[in-house]
Structure 1
């Protein structure tokens, strides 16, 4: 009898944990899927935190702007940065001297800072010294970085495939993480699109 109660309690706890996972998953229209050489990374976007940034990222995904774009700056233990659609397309127009300085043909965005923490798996928008200069580039955190909290715009978090993010080719620490022959996003799509 006692064993049956324990088993039943364990089942309830497992059900609650499983329910938490699905309750926090983003809706398909706010789920971005990055196809990497080793598989797919699923990112739940957060329009509740950064509606303008999420809208712009989604528009760029729909245009195919992130396809073949390099992870040009990758710092072990910190983050992997990508999304320079102007200079980072390794199939068309890649410029090793300028990658990381470009954006897209869309306007820069005003900061949408929030209380969301830059924890492992958080996705934030890259910018210059000007807080209102984010455009198309984003980064995925390998580890927490409290010094970024409230200084950069959080747009989402990795829901699955963090092990694939961990495997992205790292850059040279002496060169601020710049990567020679970088890994790339093969393609990006929204889950609501359904196509590959």
Structure 2
């Protein structure tokens, strides 16, 4: 597993978001994200929950916030990494071991989530395109991941 890999989301809000993967924090979750991205799972998937000052959530192909992949849920990989602007973390139900494909990107500090949600990456560039996503729960016309890919860092 390379520490040099990046997840790139081509967003409908205008550009590319480059995310540094953090296998040092959450190796299982990083492998899942990579597997889903490489399979095309995230292509065309909307951000169904976008709350200003908090976070943008996506990864549910139904766009309702209740779906996920056909893969088994993941065991929690909580860390001391803080939930701050640009941090990428997994969404889940009340069960800590229920993360599957949904994730969120923090707009701002959300330290109350620390040690309760699995951090798997951090935005290196393109945060302005996350900021530009249509807001709402769900947004009237949600922003989408047009394509997701894994690439080596330059």
Q: Considering the TM-score relative to the shorter chain, is it more than 0.5?
A: yes
Q: Which structure has the larger Rg?
A: 1
Q: Could you tell me how far 1:83 is from its partner in structure 2?
A: 0.5
Deviation (angstroms), 1:146: 0.8
**TM-score (normalised: structure 2):** 0.94
Residue 68 in 1 paired to residue 44 in 2?
A: yes
**Counterpart secondary structure, 1:186:** strand
Matched with 2:82 is 117
Task: Return the offset for 1:178.
Answer: 2.1
Report the Cα distance in structure 2 between the residues aligned to 1:75 and 1:103, rounded to whole angstroms.
20
Q: Shift of the alpha carbon at 1:191?
A: 1.2
RMSD value, Cα: 0.9
Q: Deviations over 1:66-108 (max 9, x none)?
A: 00000000001100000013x13xxxxxxxxxx1011101100
Distance, in Å, in 1 between the alignment partners of 2:140 and 2:23 is 34
Residue 165 (structure 1) aligned to one of 130, 150, 154: 130
Higher RCO by CA contacts (8 Å cutoff, separation 6 or greater): 2
Moved over 2 A (4+): none
CA distance in 1, matches of 2:93, 2:138: 16
Greater per-residue helix proportion: 1
Aligned length: 149
**2:149 is the alignment partner of 1:184:** no
Partner secondary structure for residue 37 of structure 2? helix
Q: Which of 55, 59, 68 is the aligned partner of 2:31?
A: 55
Residue segments in structure 2 that go unaligned for 5+ positions in a row = none
